[in-house]
Amino acid sequence: MLARHGFRYLVHDFDRATNPASKPPFRLRRAPWFCLVYAERTNEPSPRRSVQFGDLRRVTPISRVFGLDRGTPIDRCYIERFLASQAGDIRGCVLEVADDAYTRRFGGERVTQREILFAPPGHRRATYIADLGAPRALPADAFDCMILTQTLHCIYGIKTAVENCRRALRPGGVLLATLPGISQISRYDMDRWGDFWRLTTASARRLFAEAFGASRVQLGAYGNALAATAFLHGLCAEELEPFELDHVDPDYELLITVRAEKGA
C-alpha cells in the first residue's frame, strides 16, 4: 500500500487535468468513487517515529547563560569564524563595542589605534560614551573599521544605529556586525537596556542596504536545526562535532553576519 504522499503522487499521474499524458485518461472530479478513495487515503495519519529526547525533555534550559558556563557559546564560535574570515578589514583606527578583544585578536599589527564604545557611563576603558540609537552619536569619518558583535539588536532605534555607523566610518571603511537570528533572550541585556530584535538575512539586507547601498553589503548566516537546538538549551560549541557546527541550513539562521563598506 502506498503512503499518503505516494498516493497523492499516483493521483497526479492519473488525472488528465494535471498530467494530459496519463493513462487511463479521466478527470478525477468526475469520478466520485475515486474522490471517496482519495479522501480516505490522504486523511490517514502520517507514520510517526518515536524520538528519544533524553536530557532535552525539559522546560528549562541546561544553561541560561548561552553555554558560557560550559565552554564556548555556539554563537561566539560562529562570530569568531566570521571575524577571522574578514580579518583584513580590521585595520587602522578600529572601534569595538564594550572592549577591544577582537580588535587585538584579529587586527594585530594592522591596527594603529584602538577605540572602545560603551553606552552607560562608568566604563573605565571606554574612549567613547555614546548611545548608537541617538542621531549623530559618533563623530563623522572617524574610523577605518567598526566591530559590533551582538549589539544592534539591543538598540530599539536600530535604523538610526546603522546610519550612525555608516556616518562614523571613513570612506572605504568597513562595518563588521553580527546579529541574532534564532536565539533566546539575553536577560542581562533585557534588564539593563533592552533586547528588541531578531533578524533574518532578508531583513538585515534591507536594513543595511538602506544605509550603505545594496552593492556595498555582504550578508552571511551560520546555523542548522541541531546547532540552534543546542544553542537554545545553552550547550556549548565543544559539545557538538565539527561537522554539526559546519553544516549551514538556510532555514535555520542562528547567526547573521554583515560586512558593510562605506563608499568614497
Within-domain flag for 47:
no
User: Residues 23, 95: one domain?
Assistant: no
Task: Please tell me the pTM assigned to this model.
Answer: 0.82
256 and 187 assigned to the same domain: yes
Q: What is the CATH number of the domain that holds 189?
A: 3.40.50.150
| Coil/strand/helix, residue 159 | helix
Q: Does residue 192 sit in the same domain as residue 94?
A: yes
Share of the chain above pLDDT 70, in %: 83
Helices (H), ranges, the chain = 4-14, 32-42, 74-85, 101-107, 158-168, 187-192, 201-212, 225-233, 242-246
**Cell numbers that stand for 84 in this block:** 577571522
- How far apart, in Å, are the Cα atoms of 66 and each of 32, 84, 187? 57, 21, 11
Q: What is the DSSP string of 89-134?
A: G--EEEEEES--HHHHHHHGGGEEEEEEEESSTT-TT-SEE--TTS
Residue 50 domain-assigned? no
Question: Tell me: the pLDDT tens digits for 211-242?
Answer: 999 999 999 999 999 999 999 999 999 999 99
How far apart (Å, rounded) are the C-alpha atoms in residues 191 and 129? 20
Residue 223 lies in a domain: yes
Residue 48 in domain: no
Domain membership of residue 248 (yes or no) is yes
Q: How many domains does the chain have?
A: 2
Given this model, what pLDDT does residue 124 score?
A: 84
For residue 19, what pLDDT is reported? 54
Q: Which domain holds residue 38?
A: 4-42
Q: Are residues 28 and 78 in the same domain?
A: no
Q: Are residues 119 and 162 in the same domain?
A: yes
List the chain residues with pLDDT less than 50: 1-2, 6-7, 9
| 35 part of a folded domain | yes
153 and 102 in a common domain: yes
The distance from CA 42 to its chain's CA centroid, rounded to whole angstroms, is 37
Neighbours of 11 (CB within 10 A): 19
